[in-house]
Amino acid sequence: MNTADLVVEYIVIGVVADIWLVLLLCAFCGPDAQTLHLVVDVLDKSSSLLVIPFLAITYILGGLVNLLASLSVKRLWQPRWNNYWFGSEAEYRKVKATIVQRASEEATLKLNSEGHLLRISRSNILNFLLLAIVSLSYVRVSSTIAISGAVISSLIAGLSYFQWKDHYDTNCRLMIGVSEVLCGRPEQEPTLANHPNSAPMTESKEV
């Protein structure tokens, strides 16, 4: 993976994390208007000196959110979709290992590109859920703004899930396609019976 791409990815994720973290700190500290004005004035005068520290903090936050989102998604949703596309978690790991060892540079670049979109979208799920929760802490300040912020953030988190799901499907299709080229057809293709949202089916008997 390109280091520069990873840095940009973490910063994109971290910027949203900066927003809910600052709102959270303000909610707990409860700064008055005079303190806020002083802070803004200091930041304005020393903005050029704070660029590098800000980017560093944003990068670290982005990495932490990405890690937490990865752990959450892998526990909640990813195993079910791996079973759908590959038949089992073991088969998914087998296909992934084969691609890492034997795939062409072009195929690896395509998968890495999808990987960036996957990580950003799954991190947005967590980021905007946290932003929705933090927004509710401002109900006493302005209930309209707080509730609107929570609703909008929740909607974006929901849309981010569907975005992650779309990219994950695309990533799985790419993996299956590359696997077919490298070592033949996978043992099991996705079927309706394996779909996470499908109801259990009973076998019908011929009369």
The predicted-structure confidence for 80-132, as pLDDT tens digits, reads as follows 888 888 888 888 888 888 887 877 777 777 888 888 888 999 999 999 999 99
Place of tokens 């002083």: 38
Grade residue 186 by pLDDT with cuts at 50, 70 and 90.
Answer: very low
Grade residue 187 by pLDDT with cuts at 50, 70 and 90.
Answer: very low
| H/E run at residue 12 | helix 3-29
Which pLDDT score is estimated for 68?
Answer: 94
Contacts of 163 (CB under 8 A, 6+ apart): 117, 121, 124
Domain range annotation of the chain? 3-194
Grade residue 184 by pLDDT with cuts at 50, 70 and 90.
Answer: low
Distance CA 72, CA 77 (A): 8
Tell me the mean pLDDT in the region 129-157.
Answer: 88
Which pLDDT score is estimated for 199?
Answer: 46
Distance CA 9, CA 1 (A): 12
Contacts of 17 (CB under 8 A, 6+ apart): 58, 61, 62, 64, 65, 127, 130
Tell me the mean pLDDT in the region 18-44.
Answer: 73
Distance CA 161, CA 9 (A): 18
- Estimate to the nearest angstrom the gap between the alpha carbon of 16 and the chain centroid: 12
Which pLDDT score is estimated for 39?
Answer: 65
Tell me the mean pLDDT in the region 75-79.
Answer: 85
CB 113 within 8 A of CB 1: no
User: What percent of the chain is modeled with pLDDT above 70?
Assistant: 79
Tell me the mean pLDDT in the region 161-183.
Answer: 86
Which pLDDT score is estimated for 15?
Answer: 92
Q: Is the pLDDT of residue 72 over 50?
A: yes
192 DSSP 8-state letter: G
Q: Is the pLDDT of residue 33 over 70?
A: no
